[in-house]
Amino acid sequence: MKGVMIQGTASDVGKSLIVTAMCRILANEGIKVTPFKSQNMSNNSYVTVDGKEIGRAQGIQAEAARLEPTVWMNPILLKPRSNQNAEVVYLGKAIETYSGREYREQFYEKGIEVIKKSLDHLEEHFEVAVIEGAGSPVEINLKDREIVNMMVAELADVPVVLVADIDRGGVFASIVGTLDLLEPKERKRVVGLIINKFRGDITLFEDGIEWLEKRTGIPVLGVLPFMENHMIDGEDSLSLRSQFLTKKKGTLDIAVIHLPYISNYSDLEPFLYEEDVSLRWVNHASDFGQPDAIIIPGTKSTISDLKNLRDKQLDILILQHAKTGGHVVGICGGYQILGEELIDVDGSDTGKLASTVSGLGCIPAITTFYKEKETNRVIGKYHKDTRLPNNQKLEGYEIHLGKTVFSNKGCSFLILDNGEEEGYFANDGQIIGTYLHHLFHNDEWRSHWLNMIRKRKGIPVQEPTYIKDFKDKRFDFLASQMKNHLKWDLLKDIINQWSTR
């Protein structure tokens, strides 16, 4: 296969962003390029057009490459359900929940098989693959059965570029240490180094580049700047947390309940584009304050996160906020938490049969969990009883185990294109529950919801902020920035020479 693999000295060094940029650079040069990551671990997922689930990072990288994402770009997705267990999504469908040991012992051969199959499929349809690794390639205790770093580079037979994060410190030790721990045949694959997240005057690092190249014998292919507020969807909540912290504080205070097993936090990212909106995480009662609105996001373990919320007495503050007219939105697991009761007959949410717990009771509904997961892209319009303009379309996707049914008469939020009623809408939108991920990516809806809060707060309403086109411009901006700081022609020569050696 013709391509390159981006590996890192650690997690969160910027591999996903670099792969995204490279996909757009190559696509802009007219090359048929595809992203690939054999195994992703994230609760932030992406639903493909055929209703399959892959890691969100690969979905975004495909968009950067101007492609429709497919399961072949990320055949294995691990979605943590606890500190010990993760759900395995195999070619887009959930198949089993394993402990770490069970996964290593029972899934390895099946994993290798589907990785080979995926690489063969991509090689048949694309000219170049930009492959992303995970964590570090020298986790010694896991290395004998890893299926995401050097094993994949060997299966694809591509060169490796090693990325290190200078912002966290220890960049020289992390590079030299990683190379030292690689086996000789693995080290031969490492053809370049990238220093990421550099701040300040690059001339102050020139002697560092010289030292690294002399010490390792490997060229430094670029020193990339620290890019704040790049607005490219993050793979995990760490990336979104940093954007929350760096965003300018706004007049509207939106509190997001930070659930331990939060999922699909990309639902929140459109608010980062709203100048007068301040987003903040709420972990404890002491963080709660007096928000203008609360969002309870999705979760991979609804009942567990509901218990955590109660243990911190956040339930009391959420209910008080709702009773005094404050706006509350629950998305997916957050919607389930806002209901009256949650019933886990098969143990598909808790792992324990016949578990039943009370919800917060803001929404008159009962959720029952089943084994089969719903994963669909959906289009709908407002339910007529919301008195919102029903000629406006909303797009998003569903990823959930439970089915929620009203216990008393309530107003649905949406009518989907298949005729089904979806979600809950009360008090002119003061309380909303929905399974629709990416609800707030619909610009007209997000504007309407924020204007309801602005009116309640007594501040002027605003025209919608349209972000769909802006996102594509961000891909081009990211690609331009990365290309300007990379030895791009040298990197392309390395890729071409490797494939013809």
Residues assigned a catalytic role: 332, 437
**Which one-letter amino acid corresponds to residue 186?**
E
Cα 307 to chain centroid, rounded:
24
DSSP state of 354: T
d(CA 448, CA 164): 43
H or E segment to which residue 195 belongs = strand 190-198
DSSP state of 476: H
Q: Is the CB of residue 165 less than 8 Å from the CB of residue 13?
A: yes
Enumerate residues 6+ apart whose C-beta is below 8 A from 416: 378, 379, 380, 422
Strands 393-406 and 365-382: antiparallel
**Which one-letter amino acid corresponds to residue 79?**
K
Closest to 261 measured CA to CA, from 137, 82, 397: 82
Ordered DSSP codes for 299-353: ESSHHHHHHHHHHTTHHHHHHHHHHTT-EEEEETHHHHHHSSEEEESSSTTTSST
Instruction: Using alpha carbons, list the distances in angstroms from residue 481 to 40, 129, 224, 269.
Output: 26, 21, 8, 22
d(CA 301, CA 303): 6
Q: Is the CB of residue 7 less than 8 Å from the CB of residue 196?
A: no
Ordered DSSP codes for 133-162: --S-TT-TTTGGG--SSHHHHHHHT--EEE
DSSP state of 214: H
Instruction: Using alpha carbons, list the distances in angstroms from residue 134 to 3, 83, 436.
Output: 17, 18, 29
The C-alpha R_g of the chain, in whole angstroms, comes to 23
Enumerate residues 6+ apart whose C-beta is below 8 A from 426: 363, 410, 411, 432
d(CA 319, CA 215): 60
Closest to 49 measured CA to CA, from 498, 439, 395, 296: 395
Helix (H, G, I), strand (E, B) or coil at 99: strand
Closest to 411 measured CA to CA, from 427, 392, 389, 390: 427
What number of CA atoms fall less than 13 Å from residue 465's CA on the CB side?
Answer: 20
Name residue, tokens 């993760």.
86
User: What residues are paired with 223 via a beta bridge?
Assistant: 195
